[in-house]
Amino acid sequence: MSVAVSDKHHAAAHDRFGALRRFARSGQLRLLLVFLPPALLLFTVFVMLPMLNASFFSPYKWSGYGPAPWAFNVDTGREFGDWVGLRNFRQLAGHAAFATAAGNTAKIVLVSLLIQLPLALALALMIYQKSYANTVFRLIFFVPYILAEVATGLIWSFVFDGNFGLSRTVTDVLQLEEAFFPLGDKAWAFNAILAVIVWKYFGFHMMIYIAGLQGISRDLIDAAVVDGARTFDLIRYIKIPLLAPAIAISVFYSVLGAIQVFDLVMPMTAGGPSNSSHTLVSYLYNFGFIRLRVGFGSAVGVVLFVVGITFAFAYRATIQRRLAA
């Protein structure tokens, strides 16, 4: 028995060695050695180091000026920053503006999943087939995604301007006595931002779905049609099930993107009026770095990182692993 087990282990080790040798001979190892170190360097410098700095700053009260907060000040005999422990995190839990920002971020996630992605899927199903007209429509729908976020925010802030923009035109058509400023109204400001988010990003997800739909075998569709499948049956039983990997990737990008929304908010409302349209990232920027509370802002960054990384690993371990199985 022991000899048989030993032979199995030897065979498994030989197979692993053979696989590594084939991998090295295939040229993929060379590509890995060329492209992986620069990617790791960029990831370390622009992702890991800032996050480590944020985690180090979060237990301090520090304005951001001068040496690092944990550095020792010889003149005063104290550190440059005041150690406050978990106080920054406790202030977050009790801050009404943070609760509003968290709620707004949750709204973006829900709108993205329930409105933006279904809209993108519906349009993809209508224009995925190759034709000149469909190519034009794809271009039109994808153009908003190409626009820079800040430029998009500035354009829409003009559109919603009650004095000069489209909002003014609507006011005149309806013959209202007072001009309407959606971005200056607490009840409408964030809803306007949500509309712009849907308008800007649905084209990106539409293109993901179009790529998935074009990868479906035409023979499979033709066979289903011959068997009597109607348009709705094709969508429900063939196209959407085969799009599951593309939908999973789209949901992943949508949720992570919703958590990080910032560039659209600042030119449109800057978080106002009365902090009603903040997202988590704009809240971090406004209450952390604008007010020179680097420790407090770093605490918000840590919370954002934990939320994002928890979702990423949980989603990968459940949905994406199930689809890959």
4-30 pLDDT, tens digit per residue, is: 445 555 555 555 655 666 656 666 767
What tokens were used for 204? 């990106």
Query: Residue 32: what pLDDT?
Result: 76
Task: Identify the structural domains of the chain with CATH numbers, from first to last.
Answer: 88-145+192-324 (1.10.3720.10)
User: Over 60: is that where the pLDDT of 117 sits?
Assistant: yes
CA distances from 182 to 93, 100, 168, 187, 271 (A): 29, 18, 11, 8, 13
35-91 pLDDT, tens digit per residue, is: 888 888 998 888 888 888 888 888 888 887 777 776 655 555 565 668 888 999 999
pTM to 2 decimal places: 0.85
Decide if 158 contacts 165 (C-beta within 8 A).
yes
| Range with lowest mean pLDDT among 140-144, 228-232, 299-303 | 228-232
What tokens were used for 6? 């030993």
State the Rg of the chain over Cα: 26
User: Over 70: is that where the pLDDT of 325 sits?
Assistant: no
